[in-house]
Structure 1
Amino acid sequence: MNNDWKNFLQNNGAKQGNNGLFAFNPPYSDYQNTKDNDCISDLSYFSTVVIAGADANEFLQGQFTNDVNKVDENNSQLSGFCNNKGRMIANYRLFQHQSNYFISLRNDLVERSINHLQNYVLRAEVGIQDISEQLIHIGISGKNAETLLASYIDNLNSTVDSVSSNDDYIAIRIAGSTPRYEIFCSFEHAVKLWEDIAAKTKIVNSDYWNYLNIKNGLPLIDSITSEAFVPQMANMELINGISFEKGCYTGQEIVARTHFLGKQKRRTYRISITSETEPEVGEQLATETSTENQYTGTLVTLYPIAKNKYEALAVIQIKSAEEAKLKLKESDAEINLLDLPYSLITSDA
């Protein structure tokens, strides 16, 4: 993380927790007071990695689940890469700027991701580097997000996954019924944008962006759930994160077989949890009839909305989600299904 940016946030009232996230407000207040209102958030818990070189396109096409050829200066995409068993090591946003490719992914996956990709570079003319200290990452959400950004980027594109940029800022439209943008820029330009927009909106804690991802059904995995799921379990093809028409990539045979043979047994669901014990990412779900060694799901991402109440995304067996009463494996927490903004395709089960 950029130390100047860290100091700037702390000088403006932020406190950094043991998890690395920055908080400006008391617990639960963002969920209770923000809703669809305009807000700005630090996204330093994501890192930015650049992949550059004459062979970058061909190299990434042989590793990523989505069609890299569809990414350009105006279009980003969600994507992922897998181990040779088709299990997803990381998922992230891929975008291009000044002929270089960039991925934005969780901090705790950077080292693992770079090491994995380096294993396949071989003689390709490709360089991979974490540049998080150079690019500040900010989120802006709300019905007036486009108006707020208009003075920074001309002709801002409002299409989901689109990229708008100039010499100072990169803005990517993120999925959601309420406009959301992720901004990448230098420290100096980040300070200017933050001071201006923060005066007109609500500053929210970093993890509120996680809630917005949960609300919009975007299950971005971390080191705890890395290599736990094939991409379809994380709904990647439902959020435009997989191409079944591109060529081969590591793990592609398993991913394609799951799709074309209809062997999909698990999906990501949005759920509410009521529990006196705080759940944890990676925690297992079960049903009332599960045996001691059985589990029916796994928590992927989690956000506390009130005392003892949480919203989460969880990978769950389709049959159990549709037919059984769910609970956390280690407690009797109450779990209920919530709506996602897209339809789950259950005919693969």
Structure 2
Amino acid sequence: MNGDWQSFLSEQGAAFEAERVTGFNGADGLEPAATEDDLTVPLTEYGVIEVGGSEAAEFLQNQLTNDVQHLPADGSRLAAWLNPKGRILVTFRVIPREGGFYLVLPRERMEPVLKRLRMFVLRSDVTLTDISDDSALIATAGPGASGRVAGVFGEAPGEAHGLVRGDAGTAIRLPGPGERFLALVSAEGAPAAWQALAQGAAAGSAAAWWLTEVRAGIPTITDATTEAFVPQMVNFHAINGVSFRKGCYPGQEVVARMQYLGKLKRRMYRARTEGDAAPEAGAEVHTPDREQAIGRVVQSAPLPDGGSELLAVLEIAVVDEALALEVEGQRLDLLELPYTVDVPGT
């Protein structure tokens, strides 16, 4: 993380655990996140890869699950990078820029992903650069979010995944219930952007933002879940994270076979627990009468009144049977997702 940006946030009252913000002045921001009130969060646990070179679009087109070559200048896309067996190594938000792209991903995935991606560059005119310390990501949500974004960038994007550019950087409207935006700015300009985006909003923790992501049904693959799921298991086909019309990429045959010829046995659900601690990503989900796990937690976030909400990949048959579910000794109660999931093979 950029040292000046971290120092500025500390002056605003931010507390850190490693590179993740845990709250401001003793408040974690979970209440406004839970009530979809105004909230602004510095996403210091995320990083950015800058992809450049004359063959940048072709390179990403041949690596990622989504269509990069036809990505409009005023739009962004979710995408995943897979291993040859079709398992997700990392999830990205792909943002077009002049002369290339930005890839937003969890910082903990940065080093292994960059190292592996560079192996595929070979003689292509492609550059891959970690610009995490030269940039900053700020998320803002709530009824006043579009007004705050417009105040910084001149206007706010109107459609989910749409983006606008201004002198301050780039702002993207994110899908999900309520207004949610992601701002990508320079580290130098981050303090001014923060002050404007936080005006009239609660300053929140990383956990508060993850609660909005869980409620939006947007999965993020971390170290704990890398290579655990194929895209359809985390509903990536339902949230426009996979293109079935583009050419080949690593794991594409597995993904296509699952979509058209196979039967999906597991998919992602949203759920709630009542325990004191939010289950960890990768935690196993069980039924009382089975020793073998029937699913895994993708990500979770605590609730302000106790308990937590989470996304978990579960066996569809077990869910259909309405069997009791538990994770880390806590009962799991299923909740609705904000989108419909078509299950391949049914």
Q: Same fold (TM over 0.5)?
A: yes
Give the letter aligned to residue 343 of structure 1: T
Match of 1:334 in 2: 331
Q: Is the 8 A contact 2:273 2:309 kept in 1?
A: yes
Percent of aligned positions that are identical? 32
**Structure 1 residue 346 displacement after superposition:** 3.2
Give the letter aligned to residue 223 of structure 1: D
Q: Distance in 1 between matches of 2:324 and 2:91?
A: 27
* 1:211-226 pair list within 5 angstroms: 211-226=211-226
Give the letter aligned to residue 286 of structure 1: H
**Structure 1 residue 26 displacement after superposition:** 4.6
**Structure 1 residue 28 displacement after superposition:** 6.5
Match of 1:16 in 2: 16
Secondary structure of the 1:90 match is strand
Question: In structure 2, do the counterparts of structure 1 residues 102 and 326 end up closer, same or farther at CA, with 3 Å as the change threshold?
Answer: farther
Match of 1:316 in 2: 314
- Give the TM-score normalised by the residue count of structure 1: 0.94
Q: Is the 8 A contact 1:28 1:305 kept in 2?
A: no
CA RMSD of aligned residues (A): 1.8
1:1-35 CA distance string (max 9 Å, x none)? 11111000111101102463341165775236762
Match of 2:345 in 1: 348
Q: Is the 8 A contact 2:207 2:302 kept in 1?
A: no
Q: Distance in 1 between matches of 2:27 and 2:198?
A: 19
**Structure 1 residue 280 displacement after superposition:** 1.5
Match of 1:230 in 2: 230
* 1:171-250 pair list within 5 angstroms: 171-250=171-250
**Structure 1 residue 67 displacement after superposition:** 0.6
Match of 1:127 in 2: 127
Secondary structure of the 1:109 match is helix
Give the letter aligned to residue 336 of structure 1: D
Match of 1:301 in 2: 299
Question: In structure 2, do the counterparts of structure 1 residues 272 and 52 end up closer, same or farther at CA, with 3 Å as the change threshold?
Answer: same
Match of 2:4 in 1: 4
Question: In structure 2, do the counterparts of structure 1 residues 275 and 19 end up closer, same or farther at CA, with 3 Å as the change threshold?
Answer: farther
Secondary structure of the 1:238 match is coil
Secondary structure of the 1:147 match is helix
Structure 2 residue 46 is matched with structure 1 residue 49? no
**Structure 1 residue 79 displacement after superposition:** 0.2
Question: In structure 2, do the counterparts of structure 1 residues 278 and 245 end up closer, same or farther at CA, with 3 Å as the change threshold?
Answer: closer
Q: Structure 2 unaligned runs (5+)? A: none
Match of 1:251 in 2: 251
Give the letter aligned to residue 320 of structure 2: E
**Structure 1 residue 347 displacement after superposition:** 5.3
Match of 1:77 in 2: 77
1:14-61 CA distance string (max 9 Å, x none)? 110246334116577523676221111101111011111111111111
Q: Is the 8 A contact 1:278 1:308 kept in 2?
A: no
Match of 1:62 in 2: 62
Q: Is the 8 A contact 2:260 2:344 kept in 1?
A: no
Question: In structure 2, do the counterparts of structure 1 residues 319 and 28 end up closer, same or farther at CA, with 3 Å as the change threshold?
Answer: farther
Q: Is the 8 A contact 2:47 2:110 kept in 1?
A: yes
**Structure 1 residue 155 displacement after superposition:** 3.7
Q: Structure 1 unaligned runs (5+)? A: none
**Structure 1 residue 277 displacement after superposition:** 5.8
Q: Distance in 2 between matches of 1:320 and 1:254?
A: 24
Q: Distance in 1 between matches of 2:62 and 2:16?
A: 38
Q: Is the 8 A contact 1:53 1:126 kept in 2?
A: yes
Of residues 303-312 and 44-53 in structure 1, the stretch that sits farther from structure 2 once superposed is 303-312
Give the letter aligned to residue 336 of structure 2: D
